[in-house]
Structure 1
Amino acid sequence: MDFMTPIQIPKLPEPISYGQKLLLIGSCFTEHIGNALAEHKFDVLQNPHGILFEPFSVHHSLIAYIENKKYKEEDLFFLNELWNSWHHHSRFSDMNKEVVLQEVNNSVEQAHEFLKNADWVIITLGSAFSYVLTEENPEKAKVGLHVANCHRAPGQWFFKKLLGIDEIIAAMDNAYHRLRAFNPKAKIIFTVSPVRHLRDGVIANNRSKARLLEAVHHMVDKFPDIYYFPAYELVIDVLRDYRFYDIDMAHPNYPATEFVLEKFTTSCIDEASLQIMKEVKQITIARKHRPMHPHTNAHKQFLKVHYERAQALAAKYTFLNLQDEIQYFSDAL
């Protein structure tokens, strides 16, 4: 008897492999995938603007990376003792506007250089709801701007808009063509975040996800180098149980995210890289080990074995950056 809905996830025609560059952009679920890939020593850059949820913010950010946009003082606003950017996550906010500008521009420049040679762009859309500045905001010139982050500004500064499918498609289509002109080899994987935006309400959240899904599949059906990974369906339709959510009943918990990541690796990463990932994982787990008795000969032998194993792995696969692990084991010996 089956207790889970079966789902067939076709292997990518040309799967991801070590040595390739992967830019990840989008919702917080993007960072689950990105962190896992980074821990396995793939060459990744994730969310240079910070976490982004809705399609217009993803579009703006990708165009900024392509154009190597230079943000200026007029792109910032001051609120709650901090300088902020409507297009960036609050991790860029600071009391010193020069610090903010330096951080956002450094991040864009890094993304610009990385995207030039990126092999994959993984886009995770979280919500079709967009927050748009109204005439109530202090900067009248920015009325109508779709913001990436509200930065706890007064609610009357925004109106909440559920983007239409055609609007989402137009934004993603434009970003795709700009990306193709900038980096013709880059392929795209779309996902829709399984995180439930319950503050919108269950019905509104489902309408939002439905629009994202329809727009994404329009893009997948239209272009040969765009693919879809069903993170949303894996949690909502395969796991399909509240025991796979955190206490907020909105975010998938650790077992759920591990389940999705397992499916991602088997369907999106090539066989040779899967074997290397197993070897890398042994090294990264060993580095996290915290011994009760660090001065024993047994622990010193443990460090020595993994120091030599990390060195051998780095020598065998020159694309792996294991310098932090090698240095850690060396310092601990």
Structure 2
Amino acid sequence: MEFRTHVDLPLKQMEIHHSDRLMLFGSCFSENIGELLADNKFRIDINPFGVLYNPLSVSEAMNELLDRKNYHVNDLFYEYGLWHSWMHHSSFSSIDQSTCLEQINSRLKQAATLIREADVLICTFGSAWVYEKNGKVVGNCHKMPEALFIRRLLNVDEIVKTLSTTLMRLRKQNSKIRILLTVSPIRHRKDGLHGNQISKSTLLLAIHKLQKVVSDCYYFPSYEIMMDELRDYRFYSDDMLHPSSLAIDYIWECFRQCYFSPSTVQIINEWADITKQLKHKPFIPSSESYREFLNGIVLNLNQLKRKLPYIDIKKELEQCQTQLKTFQK
């Protein structure tokens, strides 16, 4: 007897390989999946502007990268003892104006190059509600008084027009890029539960329409998996709004089924074995057997590097070499 409904996964849409360059934009869920991709040694860049929730801000972020925008003093504002950007997460804010600009511009310079070289773009939209200031949608309100903004709900055609224009512009500079869209399963309680449903529905309809006008544009049903398969509150974190770590792991497994080939899964499994070895704590750290164990990890890392020359294992090699040096003292 089956006690839950299963979401039909979009199998064989496209494949994501370790050789691909990936760029992720959007809500906290982008960061959840992005961290798992990074942990499994995919080459990625996550949210060069920090977390962005609405599709218009994601579109603006991509346009600024394509324009190679360089931020100046007049792009910032000062409040609560810090310099901020309306387009950036507060992690970029600083008590020092020049530090804020340096953090923003160095990050954008790196991302502006990658967006032109990326093989896969993944965008996760969290909300269709936006906050406007002086006629422009802001990416982050920085906890400023709500009276400073006009809050409104984007409509489907507005989202489709804005994003399709940006994505087609991106395609002109990067013709090989494949686009994967998803709606965040995180509920926005501040919009009200009904307002949250209207917001998510708007995003879903916009993505459905967008797929008809932009080629190589796909959809992954993270929202549906959370709402239909994992509808029990035991799959939520303590705030009852965000997916629990168990739920994120389950959605990740669904993601793996959709976009990873058997050979990619094999590499992930090989890396998982190496990761377990790296976390091993020896009973006797100075023993000869532990030195042989460390040398074995180094051998496995180098073998994987020869197989996949584009992966970054510098940190892991340094960890092993630091531990091996203790035997030379």
Does the alignment reach a TM-score above 0.5?
A: yes
Q: Hey, what does 2:277 align to over in structure 1?
A: 286
Pairing 1:1-12 to 2, within 5 Å after superposition: 1-12=1-12
Q: Hey, what does 2:327 align to over in structure 1?
A: none
Q: CA deviation at 1:294?
A: 3.3
- CA distances 1:10-49 after superposition (whole Å, capped 9, x unpaired): 3234311121100000000001111111111111011000
C-alpha spacing 1:13/1:198, structure 2 compared with 1 (3 Å):
closer
Residue type of the alignment partner of 1:327: E
Q: Hey, what does 2:209 align to over in structure 1?
A: 218
- Alpha-carbon distance between aligned partners in 1 of 2:249 and 2:231, rounded to the nearest angstrom: 15
SS at match of 2:36: helix
Kept in 1, the 8 Å contact 2:6–2:228? The answer is: no
Aligned length: 324
Q: CA deviation at 1:196?
A: 0.5
With normalisation by structure 2, the TM-score equals 0.94
Kept in 2, the 8 Å contact 1:192–1:213? The answer is: yes
- Residue 246 (1) aligns with residue 237 (2): yes
Kept in 1, the 8 Å contact 2:164–2:214? The answer is: no
SS at match of 1:174: helix
With normalisation by structure 1, the TM-score equals 0.93
- Alpha-carbon distance between aligned partners in 1 of 2:135 and 2:279, rounded to the nearest angstrom: 48
Q: Hey, what does 2:28 align to over in structure 1?
A: 28
Q: 1:154 aligns with which of 136, 142, 145?
A: 145
Kept in 2, the 8 Å contact 1:127–1:208? The answer is: yes
Q: CA deviation at 1:150?
A: 0.9
Kept in 1, the 8 Å contact 2:19–2:43? The answer is: yes
Kept in 2, the 8 Å contact 1:87–1:148? The answer is: yes
Deviates more, 1:159-168 or 1:44-53: 159-168
Show structure 1 runs of 5+ residues with no match. 134-142
Kept in 1, the 8 Å contact 2:168–2:214? The answer is: no
C-alpha spacing 1:293/1:202, structure 2 compared with 1 (3 Å):
farther
- CA distances 1:214-265 after superposition (whole Å, capped 9, x unpaired): 0011112333300000111111111111100001000000110000011111
- Alpha-carbon distance between aligned partners in 1 of 2:123 and 2:13, rounded to the nearest angstrom: 18
Q: Hey, what does 1:302 align to over in structure 2?
A: 293
- Alpha-carbon distance between aligned partners in 1 of 2:283 and 2:25, rounded to the nearest angstrom: 39
Deviates more, 1:73-82 or 1:4-13: 4-13
Q: CA deviation at 1:290?
A: 4.4
Kept in 2, the 8 Å contact 1:293–1:299? The answer is: yes
Pairing 1:46-57 to 2, within 5 Å after superposition: 46-57=46-57
Q: CA deviation at 1:278?
A: 0.7
**How many percent identity over aligned positions?**
37
- Alpha-carbon distance between aligned partners in 1 of 2:274 and 2:112, rounded to the nearest angstrom: 31
Q: Hey, what does 1:137 align to over in structure 2?
A: none
- Alpha-carbon distance between aligned partners in 2 of 1:70 and 1:235, rounded to the nearest angstrom: 39
Residue type of the alignment partner of 1:11: L
- Alpha-carbon distance between aligned partners in 1 of 2:150 and 2:314, rounded to the nearest angstrom: 48
Q: Hey, what does 2:103 align to over in structure 1?
A: 103
- Structure 1 runs (4+) greater than 6 angstroms displaced: none
C-alpha spacing 1:247/1:156, structure 2 compared with 1 (3 Å):
same
Q: CA deviation at 1:324?
A: 1.2
